[in-house]
Amino acid sequence: MDDLISEFIAECREMLEALGGEIVAWEASPDDRARLDSIFRFVHTVKGNCGFFDFPRLEALSHAAEDALAEVRAGRRQPDPTLVSAVLAIIDRIAEMIAALDAGEELPGGDDSSLIHALQAHAEAVPAPVATTVAEAQSKAVAPRTIRLSVELLDRLMSGVSDMVLARNELARRLRETAGDVAVDGAFERLSSIIAEMRDAITRTRMQRIENLFVALPRMVRDLSAELGKQVLVDIEGGDVELDREMIEMIRDPLTHIIRNAVDHGIELPVDRLKAGKREIGLLSVAARQSGNQILIDIHDDGRGINGKKLVEKAIAAGVIDKSDAPELSPREQLALIFEAGLSTAKEVTAISGRGVGMDVVRSNIERIGGIVEVDSTLGEGTRMTLRVPLTLTIIPALTVSVAGHHFAIPRSAIDEIVRANGESVTLEKLGGAGVATIRGRRVPEVALADVLGLESDVKETDRTFVVLRPAGGDVYALAVDRIHDHEELVVKPAAPAVMATGLYAGTTLADDGSPILLFDPAGLAQVGGVKLEAQERASRVAEAPRAAVEEDVPVLLFRGLDGARRAMSLAVVDRIEEVPASAIRPGAGQLRVQLGEAILPLAGANGDLPEEKVRLFRLNDGTCEIGYAFREVIDLSALAHEIIPSEFPGEVCAVTLVAGEPAEIVDPHWLFSTFLTSSERTPEQPVCRLPAGDPWMQNLLRPIVEAAGYRVVSESDEYEVDLAILSEMSEAPTGQAARVIRLRSEPDPASRKDESIYRYDRAGLLQALKTAAGGRG
């Protein structure tokens, strides 16, 4: 609301400045219709806005002036000096109030009735009002100076800065190719800094919080729901995302149309929702987030969904598709028919909307600004519409790469690291026809850019370079390219709709020599390249490196706890990092808990003051159960390669060691799960399993699965009679008093038919063996 009031004040001050000469000219020539219209538009605008912002005094003054001027414009009243003076007095008083609002002060006191009475016909002239003149009132404002500029001028400024960035890039390349001069290099650095500041300032002038677009949605949904007899709850997220001001206006109508569709034909009546086993109140969520050079706006309802088969039937009847082609359409292609003109699954078209009616216009409007509309729907469960629109004409840091002689750009924010395919820390293999790269013990999918684009690479597979990418909210994967070029700041513009529709690109840019380059969307590139990694498979991505190497280098996540302590957590148990509002954390069932979506997890690590707004936490997973662990900040990814000093007593911290040259406490995940999980999730009489204490793979990856299966885990040094012992295929360690022994092999296929070992990543087979061993307890 503060932003809207600021815009109202700025608009009024701008109009007052423009009226300064008009008022004086109208006083000299009351019959001048053009000047009369200008003054009328001002008081009319003020009156309309004041009703929205609840400024009754301003509204009363402007309303009275509007009525008097309307009489003059209609010819029912002749403008005389008395009327002109009365209008001038009203405008002066309005200017004084606007100045007070601008300065953050209280509105001036006094009674406005005499000013309003002076507007009436045959009223006596009133003395000059106490209010100051327009110029004097505006000179009192102490708020920051503002000025309104046309979008065209801002575009010219941005275009000029973009050209400056390109020229700077070219100059940097030429300086690298010639002998260096300290004085020239220093001057160039200063120039680069100035250009960067100009770029940021001009970019910010065009940006606006998308909250200004979302602010009217709850009221609109409420009115529509009341009119249709429905109950709809609106959930809005991402209001702090910033988007180009003009872009906000361009997507306002398409977004409004989609939301009206969702309320009208998406969400069912309460009685129909109850019959379908749903809550009476429908949920409509609108969320915005930034992904690279795009803004993604998701509109999701939990209504009846879209019937793809009915869309196909209507498309056939309308002649959009042939009947013979209908069986070949995939579910996604069926839903895409909604964007054909006139197609709808609604039983009747209402005055409010009709899902499908006008969606062709929505798509064309979004594509006109270089965006894309996507639809995903499940019958009976709901529909999700996603608007992908460009952020703006902007400049982002990027890495240029090439394949088969063609150059492309990758946003630098998505790049984890760059490695050579033939390096000692990298191995390549094929699993199920898909490429897998193992980079320093981390197994990640490989996407060959040449294969995705259908190009013939002129570089051997082993001579390629891997760019390890981490898309926003996605898994890590390795992109194989022929060559790596420069890190540069590139000017990014929206690409043509046909290019954006491929899902591979986020925009287009220019190299320092002026040649065009396409900018990849890392998330879209992963999707087109077939990267599909499930959360439960993350543990299996750790490479089966030689045992000696694993023992020397155990990966950990170095972080700082809420109490400021420097700690390390085994990377194997960290499922992902979440950020939640502080309100999502509250006591429950005897301990502190955190709500993550539909899940309520026990919360560990809260051994310091919780932040007031946002809390960051690790989502820890033992293969079956989850707990949260609050922390302050992530420091780095590292490894345990030094001597570990164990703790004297069991607890959250099990040891201390040197990590990156400084002491760090090692968190014990086993203690966390055993302490924070409720008793109902534990087995009262647990079978006992022995695991080798010196095998990090067994302890980090296998142990959580064994414990989740109901076993209590011990090591060789513990003198227990155990129900099960698990060993590697080559281990000669004693099994002790074990009722059953399971041997795990590192290869998927057994060495011989008599080999009864289990592949270490055969989760189903391992769980079945654990269940059998537990069931055979004597």
145 assigned to some structural domain: no
Question: Domain check: are 666 and 715 in the same one?
Answer: no
Total domains in the chain come to: 6
Question: Domain check: are 601 and 742 in the same one?
Answer: no
What does the pLDDT read at residue 317? 84
Of 533, 560, 594, the residue at which a domain comes to its end is 533
Q: pTM value?
A: 0.40
What does the pLDDT read at residue 550? 34
What does the pLDDT read at residue 301? 92
Question: Domain check: are 236 and 364 in the same one?
Answer: yes
Question: Domain check: are 133 and 67 in the same one?
Answer: yes
What does the pLDDT read at residue 300? 93
146 assigned to some structural domain: no
Among residues 591, 587, 556, which one has the least CA distance to residue 574?
556
358 assigned to some structural domain: yes
- CATH number of the domain encompassing residue 510: 2.40.50.180
Among residues 236, 241, 243, 244, which one has the least CA distance to residue 217?
236
Asked whether 403 and 455 are in contact (CB, 8 A), the reply is: yes
- CATH number of the domain encompassing residue 745: 3.40.50.2300
- CATH number of the domain encompassing residue 315: 3.30.565.10
Of 353, 368, 390, the residue at which a domain comes to its end is 390
Residue 132 burial by Cβ neighbours in a 10 Å radius (0-12, 13-18, 19+): middle
Planar angle of CA 31, 35, 38, nearest 5 degrees: 140
30 assigned to some structural domain: yes
Question: Domain check: are 371 and 448 in the same one?
Answer: no
Asked whether 629 and 618 are in contact (CB, 8 A), the reply is: yes
Task: Going from the first residue of the chain to its last (778 residues), give the mean pLDDT of each consecutive group of 10, the final group possibly shorter.
Answer: 72 71 66 78 77 76 84 80 80 83 76 81 52 44 57 76 77 76 81 80 77 80 86 85 79 88 89 89 89 82 89 84 80 82 56 52 73 85 87 70 87 79 73 70 82 83 82 70 79 72 77 75 78 40 34 72 87 80 84 83 84 85 82 80 74 83 85 72 66 81 81 73 82 65 83 77 82 69
- The two most distant CA atoms of the chain are separated, in Å, by 115
What does the pLDDT read at residue 770? 85
What does the pLDDT read at residue 653? 87
764 assigned to some structural domain: yes
Q: Whole-angstrom Cα distance, residue 628 to residue 605?
A: 8
Question: Domain check: are 246 and 367 in the same one?
Answer: yes
144 assigned to some structural domain: no
Q: Whole-angstrom Cα distance, residue 222 to residue 646?
A: 60
Helices (H), 54-143: 56-73, 81-102, 113-117, 134-139
Of 139, 160, 178, the residue at which a domain comes to its end is 139
Question: Domain check: are 362 and 460 in the same one?
Answer: no
What does the pLDDT read at residue 346? 53
Question: Domain check: are 399 and 307 in the same one?
Answer: no
Question: Domain check: are 132 and 233 in the same one?
Answer: no
Look up residue 614 and give its amino acid: K
703 assigned to some structural domain: yes
222 assigned to some structural domain: yes
- Number of Cβ within 10 Å of residue 546's Cβ equals 10
Q: Produce one character per residue of 21-30: b if its CB has 16 or more CB atoms within 10 Å, e if not.
A: ebbeebeeeb
Question: Domain check: are 78 and 99 in the same one?
Answer: yes
Give one DSSP letter per residue of 3-34, joined into a string.
HHHHHHHHHHHHHHHHHHHHHHHHHH-TT-HH
Q: Residue 292 belongs to what domain range?
A: 209-390
Secondary structure E strands in 306-456? 372-378, 382-390, 394-403, 406-411, 415-420, 426-431, 434-439, 442-448
Question: Domain check: are 217 and 356 in the same one?
Answer: yes
- CATH number of the domain encompassing residue 22: 1.20.120.160
Which strand (E) or helix (H) includes residue 185?
helix 182-205
pLDDT in tens, 671-696: 888 788 764 444 446 788 888 877 87
Question: Domain check: are 280 and 360 in the same one?
Answer: yes
